[in-house]
Amino acid sequence: NIVHGWDLDSDHAAHLGYAFGAMTSKVPASTVEAEILRALNAWSGIANVVFQPASSATAARTIQVKFASGAHGDSYPFDGPGGIIAHTFYPVPVNSESIAGDVHLDADENWHAGGDLDIYSVVLHEMGHAIGLAHSDKPGDVMYPYYRRGMQLSSNDTGAAQQLYGAPGNAPASPAPITAAPAHPATPLS
């Protein structure tokens, strides 16, 4: 299930920046950053998506990952513990450059690294949206819209990412189809 991916660069890969915004106080910042990088590496390991530190959170083609509470500057306020735990904005042109790809995590949740609610598992799912994937209807997929800790990228997740970006070191087989944009640019993981 694909919405729209980032444009490929001349080397047939999408080069994207990443930046960290506010972190949760419930897990050491170094651990949070390591879990986020682990999720980025999972996607770049199966598709031609290259992530590198950005000079600024607002730089072009940059995905900012931040924790926020309640109303936090977009049209999708968080609802406190339980309920919506995260949302992400699809790439350009579905969303404007300043927010495209950004991942917001509800700071009011009881975040953990390796336990429930697992930062890596949630960011792995949300990063799928950040590179242009929609929800899947298959329960074994990371892109299935319901949280489960410990998920790994499935063949469906890999196939969708490779349809947009190609396998590492290879160009995509053919131009990826563009499907209709969702009614809401932010996709909460429920």
The catalytic site residues sit at: 126
In whole angstroms, give the CA distance from residue 122 to residue 105: 9
Q: Is the dihedral of CA 72, 74, 76, 82 positive or negative?
A: negative
In whole angstroms, give the CA distance from residue 162 to residue 154: 12
Which three-class secondary structure state does DSSP give residue 46? coil
Residue with tokens 């735990």: 85
List the beta strands (DSSP E) in 61-101. Answer: 62-68, 86-88
CB 164 within 8 A of CB 47: yes
